[in-house]
Amino acid sequence: MLQRAERVLRANGHHLIFSPTRGPHTAGAIASESIRDGADLILVAGGDGTINEAINGMVHSPVPLGVLPAGTANVLCAELGLGLDVERAAANLVQCRPARVSLGRICLENGPRHFLLMAGIGLDAQIVYKVSLPLKAKWGKIAYWIAGFSLLGRRLTEFGVEIDGQAASCSFALVSKVRNYGGDLEIARDTSLFDNQFEVVLFSGKSSIRYLKYLAGVALKRVAGLRGVTVRRACRVKCAPVADRRVYVQVDGELTGYTPVTVEIVPDALTLLVPPAYFRKHAVADGRPAPPVSF
């Protein structure tokens, strides 16, 4: 896969230095070291977890981030419309344009972490916690569905949420900067990578069976009209701990910790390579000049 992408990139005039990760929690250091060594671009071939690690080594750097589709779901590639073909994505890289975007920053007891896509607190993070890694390696996204349906019939934990100072409660809170969720679904419907606010979607209720109705609403793209669902826009979200139970937290699809957490927007934090179609659809509405239609 990488060899095919390499041929395309070199043919387009790029000088490449390959830096394979050595395991979890190494991509951030590789990205920051590469920038210090003079890299003009950090190009990540990996899933959302690897991309997230790289971002945490690039915050406030002017060096742009580009991505090639890989990993289990790759929500970022789906959001940008890059497709799943690595060779085609590499060929289309020359058309992308750099744009400054905000990041989310989540503050946990073990320290802060930045993210580009979303943070999930409650049910979806519990699903990430339950996913079998061997099953994920073999079956990809199907492993998440298996873990999710294994929770049917169980009671869920509700927790307190404060959204820009207003109190609420739920069993799943999605704090998102993207519409795409999991590569196949859309939960947040009115946001983009160019927004300087989160779209916050709260699902209430302790019954896991209730989430079958929520799932149907997501599939029909009618989340905002469902009873028990609250949709808000915010720059800051706080989730309270629950005394007798852990409430898990995931960031960009990776388990990160548990409540209490505070999530906030960090404006103008990252340079991202964006395809022209995504730029025209979202950034122009935000008042940014559109790139040319063709290059």
Q: Which CATH superfamily is domain 2-102+269-286 in?
A: Probable inorganic polyphosphate/atp-NAD kinase; domain 1 (3.40.50.10330)
* Top-confidence residue, 149 or 283: 149
The two three-digit tokens of residue 32, written as one number: 């920051």
Helices (H), the chain: 2-11, 27-36, 48-56, 75-80, 86-92, 123-130, 133-139, 142-149, 210-219, 276-278
Q: What is the mean pLDDT of residues 80-90?
A: 88
CATH architecture classification, 106-266 = Sandwich (2.60)
The two three-digit tokens of residue 274, written as one number: 């964006």
Could you give phi then psi for residue 162, rounded to 5 degrees?
-120, 115
- For the chain, the domains span 2-102+269-286, 106-266
pLDDT in tens, 133-156: 777 766 677 777 677 777 887 889
| Torsion over CA: 238, 157, 176, 128 (sign) | positive
Q: Long-range contact list for 239-243, CB < 8 A, 24+ apart?
A: 239/121, 239/159, 239/160, 239/161, 239/162, 239/173, 239/263, 240/159, 240/160, 240/161, 240/162, 241/159, 242/157, 242/158, 242/159
Burial class (CB in 10 A: 0-12, 13-18, 19+), 227: exposed
pLDDT confidence of residue 284: 54
pLDDT in tens, 176-211: 999 988 777 889 988 999 999 999 999 999 998 998
pLDDT confidence of residue 291: 45
pLDDT confidence of residue 293: 36
pLDDT confidence of residue 292: 42
pLDDT confidence of residue 147: 78
Could you tell me which of 29, 33, 55, 32 has the C-alpha nearest to residue 44? Answer: 55
pLDDT in tens, 213-261: 998 988 888 888 889 999 999 999 999 988 888 899 999 988 899 999 9
